[in-house]
Structure 1
Amino acid sequence: RDMENPPAYGDPDNMTSANYWFGETDNGGVHTNSGVNNKAVYLMTDGGSFNSYTISGIGVDKVAGIYYEVQTTLLTSGSDYGDLYNALYQGCLNLIPGPQGITTVDCQQVRDATVAVEMNLEPSLGYNPDVEICQAGGQPIDLFVDDLEAGAGNWSFGTVSGTSSWSLVTGYATSGTGLLWGNDMFSSSDSFAAMNMDTALPGGSQPYLHFNHAFGFEDPDYDGGWLEYSTNGGSTWVDAAPLFDDGLGYTGSINTVIGDGDNTHTGRSAFVGDSHGYVSTRYDLSSLAGGNVRFRWRISTDSIFYDLGWFVDDVRIYTCGSPAPTPVFSDVSADYWARDYIEILYNEGYIAGCQTSPLKYCPDRVLNRAESAVFVMRGAYGAISDPPYSPPSTPSFDDVDPAYWGYGWIESLWTDGFTAGCGTDPLIYCPLRDHTRAEGSVFFLRVKNGVEYDPPPPVGIFADVSLGAWYAGWAEAAYSEGLLPPCQTNPLKFCPDDTLDRSWAAYMMVWAKGGFGLPTPTLVPTSTSTPTP
């Protein structure tokens, strides 16, 4: 194989490549089609220009860490390239902060690499479609949901004729390991997996059914499966085809021309052939609103030959609520680890961001000492727009000119006794120097406890903080009071000289001010220092 140039060995380097393998051999192209991911990994690691995108490589250690996170926590046995596309970006965000020093800038490179290889696209239109649970970002309000991880308590397996194909199994699933499986077997059979309880659909509502499924039925269309519903407790059943809304609908009809003669449903519209992995299907239940409903998945097979059968997972009946709130800052995504801390400070008037059009926060930018003066003064006085004191005509610090934008904030910080500067002969403040975790501990502990606060004597809990260090007590107090997690657990370390970025400053400010009603976090160490740009 050639990861930089997969076509050199006949492998695809993007989802719509002419080299993409559509056949059933090679288990559906599992080896050949890995060229798409190989190319993505090359771009993430070494960088380059491809398919109108230019990616800056982030290095093998970061990429390896991201893939380990993805493979161990985010993917399941039923995942496909569409899932990998989402998981790689989410896995990258999960590692901020982390031992590789990954930043949101790195995660954008990951996203660009996966877009460049078209990992978010089908190899051809309608090949293996997925449909959103709710449109336009709406949030599902569940009426019934079963990921099949708690057993088969919601289900009954039965037959219309022959032997039942259905059972609850573990393995090829889209969440966890449990799923319903209907075996496409050597038997003339008509069997089903049915919900054994009704679900009430609120009157006047817009309810839906959504489920994930994969199937491989005997070709050419000798066997197949379809969905039915009952509104009278299972006494009678109706084909759900008229309720189909989006995703993958029935793919054909059970064969009426060539066959064995003992499939009792030849000519019936059904899911037939191969779904090419997991797909999803959504049904519109609005015509049933105000009543009760249950569903069953039904397979009809003949007595000659076999195939993989039907795999069903993550069954959900629901309505859709309002979309999730749009992030305030264009560079702080909805799933960014510090979003809640940043947005609550913005909503309370403590921060304004780093740019106005579009509104940005610059979460990974290291906080300098001038910016920290604004943070601390607002922490002490509330959502003020100007420094609390009129600036003196004569500067207190030799390196902070009265014309400097932060002059009034720094002088107020000095007046209130929050800072002693960074040098004494002459007295200087070092406004452009990067803020460290040790310095942040002092400032935000005093925001929390008052300017007269001094920490208890240190006892030496951190392996990298000597008892004689000026910040030893501050570091231990910041940790014990929940303002800042350690950077490593074994041994326990604080990384006092590492820089403090604007995300962690927001985190510290929120907890220094009492949390603003946010849930108290568990202080799980971050394994490294805070991320830097």
Structure 2
Amino acid sequence: MNTKKSLSRIITILIVVIFFLSGAVPTLAAPVSAPLYADDPTPPAQTVKLIFIHHSTGENWLADGYGNLGITLEQNNYFVSGTNYGWGPNAIGDRTDIPNWTEWFRSGDTETYMNALFNESGQNSSYTRNLTDPGGENEIIVFKSCFPNSALEGSPTDPPSPDGWLTVGHAKYVYNEILQYFASRPDKLFIVITAPPLQDGTYAENARAFNEWLMNDWLTENGYTLPNVAVFDFYNVLTGPDNHHRYINGAIEHVFTAGMNTSYYPSSPADDHPNAAGSQKATNEFVSLLNIFYNRWRGSTTSIFTDVPSTYWAASYIERLYNAGITSGCSTSPMMYCPLAPVTRAQMAIFILRGMHGSAYIPPTATGTIFGDVPADAFAAAWIEQFANEGITSGCGGGNYCPDANVTRAQMAIFLLKGEHGASYVPPVATGIFTDVPVGSFAADWIEQLANEGITSGCGDGNYCPDADVTRDQMAVFLVRAFSLP
């Protein structure tokens, strides 16, 4: 029998017995899916940049002599920065209620906010920070809402709803929405801190139910498997001395006593801010979990690119593309591939010519006379002109090449097969194997031949999605298969 699992079960049984004898009834949260590797609570070996989005509760939690979170994180090799009231573009730092997270992570301004957030190195509150800034962007994004967000109206079992404000249903909707941004940034680790509890028990049952949903159901209901999102149940830790979310005796424990859904650690009867004792308890339980979350995330990435988890569907193809010398990624510090970014026509010329001629190939110097929108000093000009000289492209019309336009999956079929078989290649006539690619439609012959050669199986449900942009992860698969890269 597995020793760790046995110990965890013994601990659970003892907790139940102790609470039973004391007259309380404990509730053990449903376990999060176990990782495929042992949890590691050791701090990072090198300094890691972390930023905390918070207001006053977070400020107290960070403060020396109050929550001691800032100095404890530093002792664990985290360089900690933060936001606070008034921070950022459009003073987005003012808005940290649950419904505001869609503005941060799921709006037309998201890229502006994230650029500022990833590059923020200021403290914006007081706590000890002696570590030297290691440079680069913040890798870990910790964010929380304050205690008013535990006054969620509605019913505990309400489903996600786009309507409402501070309701159970709308809170679920918000977290489902922002998960889509997190999925697009596997190079960042996002830590959700649940909102602290209130002393008023009016909506306490709703708050407990919502936070249990975040802990146990949020990611699984969305089929989310990337290791770059984790939840710390700050709420639960603050509802009683025997309520915990921590790493202990080799296992993660998430336990609470039934009925204890209000604040056990208020600053005063008139103030719901967690007091120093509660904040320090939260620090003691959070930091080892953060180390585990970090090590899960970092341990799951490929040996080459920090934004490509080893479990990512195209990970092996991306690594093969790199090993073949076709790409060095989209960033070198840190090494990133940007798997979900679309491929432009300029990038495509480089990819295919290297696939055809090998990683050492260098095209002739550009003349700037072939395409009106590709001067000799433009990015990839030499590659684009050689692409035309080899008869793989004649441009996008009007004497232009459209180097910054994204490549569609239909266009890619033509470019790949011409690169593989030569400019004079003509594929067999299509028979209509994809539902969304009727015979006679643009590039139908090429698309079907791409499938017949085993280079693609489509985009699912019998379709090919000919008008969709080719992303860099898809491009890796296309290239490796078309040119039989090792």
Structure 1 or 2, whichever has the larger Rg, is 1
Q: Which has the higher helix share?
A: 2
Q: Which has the higher strand share?
A: 1
Q: TM-score, structure 1 length as denominator?
A: 0.42
Q: TM-score, structure 2 length as denominator?
A: 0.46
